Amino acid sequence: MRTYTRPTASQISAAAVSGRRHYHEKVLDHYSRPRNVGSMPKTDTDVGTGLVGAPACGDVMKLQIRVDPTNNTISDVKFKTFGCGSAIASSSYMTELVRGMTLEEASRVRNTDIAKELCLPPVKLHCSMLAEDAIKSAISNYYTKNPSAQTTDLGGTGASIPKIDVETVVEPTASQATTA
């Protein structure tokens, strides 16, 4: 039985120099030393869990937030990601970014913020999209468990969804059209 050892940052850098993919040092840092790895009891009412995946590449990300109900701030955050280095780095960076934020602030984090900070290439943007989807899913899960909590616009715009009146139009059938 073979055991797998995660490569060090210097080994990854050496591979990048040899002509393979070149990852920015921020990605290498979060990949080799990921922050806030772990999980929380998903049954706790103050914990929101987001589980998202990318079928195209097989990356799966679980992000959990613990919310202080007195001020709707994220007091703790954990993640587990099964995927490439960019997906792990995006998850790790997201946990650092949203800790201490209100749910409203965290819902406004965009994948472009993550991609820009980590200098992700265009082919890895889906990793930052997973992180954005994961935080929104975790916030949504928290609100599902706590329906009386002050809700957040998960679209991130702060605008409410407009009410649209719908008019029902009935088209005449062929038999009705010929009798008229």
* Catalytic residue ranges: 57, 127
Task: Fill in the DSSP letter of residue 79.
Answer: E
Where do we find the tokens 């007091």?
A: 75
Q: Are 133 and 170 in contact (CB under 8 A)?
A: no
Q: Are 48 and 142 in contact (CB under 8 A)?
A: yes
Distances (CA, A) of 83 to 55, 129, 134: 11, 13, 14
Of 69, 132, 141, nearest in space to 97 by CA: 132
Q: Are 134 and 50 in contact (CB under 8 A)?
A: yes
